[in-house]
Structure 1
Amino acid sequence: MTRRKKKPLHITAEAAQKAAKSHNFWTAFRMLCEKIGKLKEYYWYVMKRDADATAEQRKMFIKKITRLLAYNYDVHRCPMPSIYGTLKKAGEPGAQPLNYPPEWHE
């Protein structure tokens, strides 16, 4: 019996970069929710653990946090969200305060 040769994975550099940016975005998104005290909402709306949440609630929460994240973190230039100062919780070494966009009202 002969063994079949496995086909090599054809992962392009662009696909690898896109996957890394997506992973970094969602990691930074979770870290930001944790920093501003919205981790419960993160699990409700993003991880979809609240069965009663509507699609509109999820969409608005993700849009609001994404805007704040875009104002504080650039996923294209900052590859490691775990070492980025503005995403660290207060009390951690290197933590910095968040900058809020002009339209942000809490």
Structure 2
Amino acid sequence: MTYVIALPCVDVTDKACIDECPLDCIYEGERMLYIQPNECTDCGACEPVCPVEAIYFEDDTPQEWRHFNDVNAEFFATLGDPGGSTKVGPTGRDHPFVAELPLQDTVTALPGHSA
């Protein structure tokens, strides 16, 4: 099991989870962040600092976002297990599913904001 990042992260530029992750296993895509499942040790440090509540323990991902479990894992099909996001830096790409999503309204996605 691992933590995953779901839809609320798309088009949000906050990276508090990257700063909090002691294992450096959160990687930056073009439009969202991804957790490398083979590097994550389920410490949970990233979850409480996410301002949009996009990080879930894999089994606790809401049903409507459950496909993000696969999205996070599949993102690393070509990247592999690099051993730390600081070695890689921004990847400049996203999983095809994320790349095809319409632009997300990030202002209303933040807690305490409404449309």
Same fold (TM over 0.5): no
TM-score band (shorter)?
Answer: 0.3 to 0.5
Structure with more of its chain in helix, by fraction: 1
- Higher CA-based Rg: 1
Q: State the TM-score, normalizing by the size of structure 1.
A: 0.35
Structure with more of its chain in strand, by fraction: 2
Higher relative contact order (CA 8 A, sep 6+): 2
Q: State the TM-score, normalizing by the size of structure 2.
A: 0.33
